């Protein structure tokens, strides 16, 4: 379901304008084919090139030995795998895969309770120099050594990194920790490699299904006609809406198990699109998330009557409609209870989504709905590629590079400056 139906009148986009964007995307479409066919390293080649047998063989070996898995990494080195585990991981399983993507000291304290004998640690960093990931690893290392014996630590750690000169590679070599190569693809685009798929496989995710869906969508996104090409069509629609003042990409997942899709997407979209174009103009659409139905009780007021600066994406699972307990007939005499009785909680969930979407459409607030069944690995694979292609389409139309992130470096430099100042103050 796309933006066209709801984006009408002054808030709308016209079909002919959308089709016209197709001509501006000829060059990109060529590159998409080159990427898909693996002639240059890229996210679009990963579904065809990632060696799943290798991941499964390693994963099976690890599953025989460990029941607990911890992933250290940040940004692209964490969000994709975490999303796959949340959306598709086997629930109520003995195995547990947990992601630590921050250096909040209170959260990290919970690592004190880890039974390292039962645990495999996967440390992921493309550059191998990321401060947070190195800090996480180096602070747990002494605990692991105490519990396992220094000579056994390497059996409990795997490293995924690309940069041979990076600190993580050096540490791995010194401690004889096995290293899995990180592909030459940027962090936020790398989920369909060992980075995302190894943790996912350990959590019981059907990684074959994910890759099948990803390949199918990659092929669709190489279609010549923009009307047949969902990545080009949807990306161009979002670009036109942004040009029309809808510069906030407001997502609303109606499924607790799909919330991390939005977290992953926010990184992809923000880090890829928020930058200066060649004329020095500040570009980008701000990706934000509100949770259905919870945030209907707060943010929906703003969405309906506030500024019309948003384009909405609903993420839903139609199978949730029939899920859940029936609401009992008790207290049916009370007016607030009566409309609920006999319905499943899934029906209430679905009715609330339909109501919210309709109120937005009535006001001409552009929205689209992405529907996928719970636990549908194929659909998640399709969705990952669709959103990645949409991102590069918007970047192309805005005239910016979707794969760099020049501004985030500035904060890293300042972090190091503050660390040095703290050292001086503490006399270190
Ligand atoms: O997409 C990106 O480039 C970033 O978000 C990185 O994934 C993030 O900064 C982590 O980098 P690294 O994998 O080098 O530790």
For the CA of 405, the closest atom of ligand 1 is 3
For the CA of 163, the closest atom of ligand 1 is 14
Catalytic residue IDs: 271, 297, 412
| Complex ipTM tops 0.90 | yes
What's the CA angle centered on 180, arms 179 and 181, to 5 degrees? 110
* Closest C-alpha to 398, from 297, 225, 280, 292: 280
Mutate to test the pocket of ligand 1, among 72, 73, 77 (most ligand atoms within 8 A of CB): 77
Evaluate: CB of 193 within 6 angstroms of ligand 1.
no
Mutate to test the pocket of ligand 1, among 42, 75, 264 (most ligand atoms within 8 A of CB): 75
pLDDT at 1: 57
Q: 71-121 pLDDT, tens per residue? A: 999 999 999 999 999 999 998 777 899 999 999 999 998 898 999 999 999
CA of 74 to the centre of ligand 1 (A): 6
What's the CA angle centered on 176, arms 172 and 177, to 5 degrees? 55
Q: 370-428 pLDDT, tens per residue? A: 999 999 999 999 999 999 999 999 999 999 999 999 898 889 999 999 999 998 888 87
Residue closest by Cα to atom 9 of ligand 1: 75
pLDDT at 11: 62
Q: Which two tokens stand for residue 149?
A: 């014996």
Evaluate: CB of 125 within 6 angstroms of ligand 1.
yes
CA of 363 to the centre of ligand 1 (A): 39
Q: What is the pTM of this model?
A: 0.95
Evaluate: CB of 74 within 6 angstroms of ligand 1.
yes
Residue 306, SS3 per DSSP:
coil
What's the CA angle centered on 311, arms 305 and 312, to 5 degrees? 85
Evaluate: CB of 75 within 6 angstroms of ligand 1.
yes
Residue closest by Cα to atom 12 of ligand 1: 125
Evaluate: CB of 182 within 6 angstroms of ligand 1.
no
Q: 40-53 pLDDT, tens per residue? A: 999 999 999 999 99
Q: How many whole angstroms separate alpha carbon 76 and alpha carbon 61?
A: 25
CA of 371 to the centre of ligand 1 (A): 29
Show Cβ contacts of residue 160 under 8 Å, excluding neighbours closer than 6 positions: 77, 122, 123, 124, 125, 179, 180, 181, 182, 194, 195, 198
Show Cβ contacts of residue 322 under 8 Å, excluding neighbours closer than 6 positions: 344, 346, 347
């Amino acid at each position: 379901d796309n933006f066209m139906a709801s984006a009408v009148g002054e808030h709308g986009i016209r079909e002919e304008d959308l089709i016209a964007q197709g001509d501006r995307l000829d060059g990109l479409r060529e590159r998409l084919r080159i990427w898909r066919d693996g002639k240059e390293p890229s996210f679009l080649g990963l579904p065809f090139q990632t060696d799943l047998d290798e991941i499964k063989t390693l994963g099976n070996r690890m599953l025989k030995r460990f029941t607990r898995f911890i992933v250290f990494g940040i940004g692209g080195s964490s969000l994709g795998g975490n999303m796959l585990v949340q959306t598709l991981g086997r629930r109520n399983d003995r195995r547990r895969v947990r992601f630590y993507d921050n250096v909040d000291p209170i959260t990290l304290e919970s690592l004190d309770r880890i039974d390292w004998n039962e645990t495999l640690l996967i440390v992921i960093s493309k550059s191998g120099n990321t401060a947070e990931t190195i800090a996480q690893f180096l602070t747990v290392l002494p605990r692991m050594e105490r519990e396992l014996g220094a000579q056994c630590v390497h059996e409990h750690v795997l490293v995924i990194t690309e940069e041979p000169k990076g600190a993580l590679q050096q540490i791995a070599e010194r401690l004889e920790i096995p290293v899995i190569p990180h592909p030459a693809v940027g962090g936020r685009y790398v989920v369909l490699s060992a980075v995302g798929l190894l943790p996912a496989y350990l959590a019981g995710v059907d990684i074959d299904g994910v890759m099948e869906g990803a390949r199918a969508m990659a092929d669709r996104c190489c279609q010549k006609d923009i009307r047949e090409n969902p990545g080009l069509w949807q990306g161009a629609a979002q670009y036109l809406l942004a040009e029309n003042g809808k510069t906030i990409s407001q997502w609303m997942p109606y499924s607790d198990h799909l919330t991390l899709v939005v977290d992953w997407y926010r990184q992809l979209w923000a880090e890829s699109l928020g930058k200066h174009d060649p004329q020095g103009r500040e570009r980008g659409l701000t990706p934000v998330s509100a949770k259905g139905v919870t945030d209907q009780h707060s943010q929906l007021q703003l969405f309906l009557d506030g500024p019309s600066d948003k384009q909405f994406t609903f993420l839903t699972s139609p199978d949730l409609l029939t899920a859940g307990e029936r609401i009992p007939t008790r207290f049916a005499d009370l007016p607030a209870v009566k409309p609920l009785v006999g319905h499943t909680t899934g029906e209430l969930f679905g009715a609330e989504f339909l109501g919210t979407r309709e109120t937005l459409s009535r006001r001409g607030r552009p929205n689209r709905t992405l529907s996928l069944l719970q636990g549908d690995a194929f659909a998640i694979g399709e969705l990952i590629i669709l959103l990645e292609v949409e991102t590069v389409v918007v970047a192309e139309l805005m005239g910016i590079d979707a794969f760099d992130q020049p501004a985030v470096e500035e904060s890293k430099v300042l972090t190091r400056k503050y660390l040095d100042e703290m050292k001086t103050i503490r006399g270190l």
